[in-house]
A and B are shown apart, each in its own frame.
Chain A
Amino acid sequence: MADAVIARHETGGAGGGVHAVVNTVVRFSPLLLLCALWEFLGLSGLVSQQMLPGLGEIAQAFFRMLFEGNLLYNTMRSISRAAAGLGSAVIVGILTGLLMASFRPVRLLVNPIVQIFYPMPKSALIPVVMIWLGLGDSSKILLIFLGCLLPVIVGTYNGARGVNPFLLWSAASLGASRSAVLREVVLPAAMPDILSGCRSALAFSFILMVSSEFVIATDGVGYMISSLGDGGLYPAMFAAIFFVAAIGFAADRAYAALVRRVLRWREA
């Protein structure tokens, strides 16, 4: 996902079809280099084939899992947890951030809590949510929710606090009520910061989804990876890892495209 962050700046003025495809291939050519290095290390015997199975073997394992195994089922289970946690975090986070920015008592109450919990690694809460909610979906959803909540709150709060006061005054002098100003001016004006907070949250949702499934789950991609590893099925394990990485990458790119659309007004 770090790759996508860098790529975003380079695609700025991408030209027409063929040109864009060539650009994309060139941009991701270091990945081919990495694949070559991987193959070389395995074949040369510098690293055991156990640790770095051949890419062909991994591909074979992937298609077997895809068509005969339960890779898709587990992926859907994982994604539905991540979506539930992330979705609720986005809604609650935006509301909280807007209220913090607009009402002093809310700010005084919530700000210290946010500041203390912001830098805390949320994976440390895995045992806690397990004790609270057991092994079912709800414990993972809660963990993902908590992990995604803070970046959304912080993004929304900073965006809403930074709104040009003249925009607020303009709206008020055009007859907007206080709640209308919040919905129709503060929210869209803060949107760039809200969306970048949500992008961090999206990344956190994948991290917490997989890591929580390592520990507390009976299905999901994270559970698959850890149980395949435990069973010594390394090609299949790598296939699952690459698959979840690819989904994360696709989700980030799709999100970036959505953001470009929503923030069309900024480009000129």
Chain B
Amino acid sequence: MMMAAKAHHIAQAASSISIHDVSHSYGGRGGGQVMLALDRINLDVGDCEFHCLLGPSGCGKSTLLYLIGGFIPVQAGVIATAKGPVSGPGPDRSIVFQNFALFPWKTVKDNVLYGLKKAGFDAGEREKRAQDYIDLVHLTGFENAYPSQLSGGMQQRAAIARTLAVDPGILLMDEPFGALDAQTRRVMQEELRAIWRRSRKTVVFVTHDVHEAVFLADRISIMSARPGRIEHVIDVDLPKDRGEEILEDPRFIQFSERIWRLVREQAVAATRGAH
């Protein structure tokens, strides 16, 4: 309880996240081998910060995201938001998954309306908000389409609209563009950055793509694999307004190189099993 109180105290800003000494392991049930997925993670994500968790596969970055989301129980340490220690999923921390996770039996509009109903908006307000967010992600005209009738990029847009519409203080994103083709991914990254600039949310974004992390983030946590640790936390020293042109900017290229070298160390270490 002492630790919880302390973590709560740290996370006093509106939508900040405080992660204190969080470890997590898998397996061990029925005499199986225990695998340490996260090892004493400490991280503070500030209000309205865009934070990327970057690392090789198997570094536990998704596990950390699911712990913040409250989808899996915290085993050791404390994760706290302004509302207190995380003890389960909630609409203050909404999530977008790699495979969209839209309700396939609901139309785009009904998917977006679902969270709004849960949030208790009245019928008129619901309709208006749903339409606003569908317009925001450029799905106007596809309100009555079922997910199976849409391309991957459109499905992911719908999922983002559904998540943004409930106005979560914290937006969790688990490699949301990983299943999209390169062109669509590029467009979605620009749109997400633009949406974030307007809506000012705290974002925790999981990716293994260095360019994606550098393009999107204010700060990047570089993680090591097995056990997952945060090896570096780096401020992204680039202009806040980032369009497509920044990809050509020497500062962007240099910075990406620097991040890439740090990630590469972890990836090489992971394949050699050095940890």
Contact = CB atoms under 8 A, between A and B. Distances in A.
Interface of A: 164, 166-167, 169-176, 180, 184-185, 188-189, 191, 264-268
B118 A173 contact: no
Nearest to B145: A268
A61 B238 CA distance: 90
Nearest to B95: A173
A174 B148 contact: no
Q: How large is the interface on B (under 10, 10 to 19, 20 to 34, 35 or more residues)?
A: 20 to 34
B146 A173 contact: no
Interface of A: prevailing SS: helix
Contacts of A166: 97, 99, 101
A174 B146 contact: no
Given A167-B101, A185-B103, A268 B146 contact: yes
Given A166-B99, A189-B105, A265-B104, A174 B149 contact: no
A174 B118 contact: yes
Given A174-B114, A175-B115, A175-B119, A169 B91 contact: no
Interface in B109-130: 114-115, 118-119
Given A164-B101, A175-B166, A267-B148, 11 more contacts: A166-B97, A167-B103, A170-B97, A172-B70, A172-B88, A174-B162, A180-B118, A189-B104, A189-B105, A265-B148, A268-B148
Nearest to B146: A265
30 contacts: A164-B99, A164-B101, A166-B97, A166-B99, A166-B101, A167-B101, A167-B103, A169-B66, A170-B97, A170-B101, A170-B162, A172-B70, A172-B71, A173-B69, A173-B70, A173-B91, A173-B172, A174-B118, A174-B162, A174-B163, A175-B91, A175-B115, A175-B166, A176-B118, A184-B114, A188-B105, A189-B105, A191-B105, A265-B104, A268-B148
A266 B148 CA distance: 7
Contacts of B69: 169, 173
A175 B91 CA distance: 5
B90 interface: yes
A85 B118 CA distance: 37
B148 A169 contact: no
B89 interface: yes
A52 B87 CA distance: 73
Nearest to A177: B118
B103 A169 contact: no
Contacts of B89: 169, 172-173
Contacts of A185: 103
Contacts of B97: 166, 169-170
- Top 5 closest pairs, chain A to chain B, by CB: A174-B115, A175-B118, A268-B148, A172-B89, A175-B91
B94 interface: yes
Interface string B130-169: 0000000000000000101100000000000011001000
B109 to A, nearest CB: 13
Nearest to B150: A268
B104 A266 contact: yes
Contacts of A267: 148
B20 interface: no
Contacts of B51: none
B201 to A, nearest CB: 14
B8 interface: no
B93 interface: yes
A173 B105 contact: no
